[in-house]
Amino acid sequence: MNYCETKSEKRLEYSQLAEEFILGCKTERKVGMEYERIPVNKSSLQVVPYEGAFGICELLREFAKIDNWDYILDGNEIIGLKKLHDTITLEPGCQFELSMEPQNTIAELKENIEKINSALQPVLDKFEITLLNKGVSPKTTYRNIKLIPKKRYHVMANYLWGILSDVMMRETAGIQVGIDYKSEEDAMRKFRLANIMMPFMTAMYANSDIRGGVNTGYKSFRALAWLNTDNERCGFATNFSSNMSFRDYVKLLLDTPMIFINRENAPVEINGRMTFRQFMDKGFEGFIPLMDDWKLHCNLYFPEVRLRNFLEIRNHDCVGDGLEYSVPAMYKGIMYSQSAFEEVEKMLNRYTINEIRELRYTVARKAIHSKIGKTPILGICKELAEIAYYALKLECKNEEAFLNPLIEMLKRGKCPCEG
């Protein structure tokens, strides 16, 4: 008798695989945000390690005492903090990630982030640490960045293939946005458009040109790192069909190789030896598939846009100085306004899917100075920002103001790494 049977846990059925996506349908129109930054020593700008008297673990421990946060643990190791619905977690190379409870307004997101930043600042000052708003570590490369003691990250690091997978895990930081959907049709229509928008958005927020102390020749080295990480689970999770369904997304996940499952709080490594479909049909070394295995597998799938019980839009370099709030503002303006959505859909549908795919590679190097076909994308980026701006303006909540830093930057023909 295997472990799963002794615990009386039910075997996962194919009929359950789309359950989280179906339950995600809601009438709310909230916006979520995950905000990653790179902790560096103020004087040297080298990435701060997890260990040590002035390391990230001790910083988290002290901040938890001061501001009454609870530990998030992996075994006995502190890997993050939580308070109510907000979390501070560590990415593999000690990157700080603020994950904010979805809010109705961008102003509420900003208020929560600034409240946490304000409480955190005295501890950062004591530890002589600053949190960089950059898409890649400007000085320390992955060879000098140890993985934090989170078991999942060590298994992932051993498995993920691609010449820049270690860069992606240990050096990079980004901003992710969560958008609600009201139905399967609404989810997949938003999913398709968000994927088509992604190269343009990557270009607008390109902010990772300096790495290892030198100019890389890429405006977004972070985007390049993702282009060179495990293309079986990264990239576009869509064939861009207007008829794509939850079932189609489930099929993509089913045919993706598995990395590991968890049993008794320890990883059981699979390392690509089977897809989730094969696991469903045959099990693995006596283990039967459980719902938690499926949820883990979904979370180990890293496309540009990921379907959860909301839409997670992923590939933007970390930015700051107020520009960070323009990222959720862009999506709120376009995704929650029918007229803006249709305008953007019509504007971008003129380009072929092959052109969109090719642009994903071009913008890593040239950002807003790229072309799609023979058309410079700067004008398209300006138009996207203007559409979002006027959609928000019509709501009369003054949220269009969050787009002003982006619009001014685009008027100057710049992306963030260019100042």
Residue 388 confidence class, pLDDT cut points 50, 70, 90: very high
Domain that holds residue 22: 3-418
Residue 1 confidence class, pLDDT cut points 50, 70, 90: very low
Residue 8 confidence class, pLDDT cut points 50, 70, 90: low
Name the domain count of the chain: 1
Q: Mean per-residue pLDDT for 376-386?
A: 98
The 10s digit of each residue's pLDDT in 84-93 is 999 999 999 9
Q: Is residue 3 scored above 50 in pLDDT?
A: no
Q: Mean per-residue pLDDT for 202-220?
A: 98
CATH number at residue 16: 3.30.590.20
Q: Is residue 6 scored above 70 in pLDDT?
A: no
On average, the pLDDT of the chain sits at 96
Q: Mean per-residue pLDDT for 89-110?
A: 97
Q: Is residue 241 scored above 60 in pLDDT?
A: yes
Q: Is residue 4 scored above 70 in pLDDT?
A: no
Q: Is residue 2 scored above 50 in pLDDT?
A: no
Q: In this structure, are residues 291 and 16 in contact, taking their beta carbons and an 8 Å threshold?
A: yes
pLDDT of residue 5: 43
The 10s digit of each residue's pLDDT in 169-197 is 999 999 999 999 999 999 999 999 999 99
The 10s digit of each residue's pLDDT in 40-83 is 999 999 999 999 999 999 999 999 999 999 999 999 999 999 99
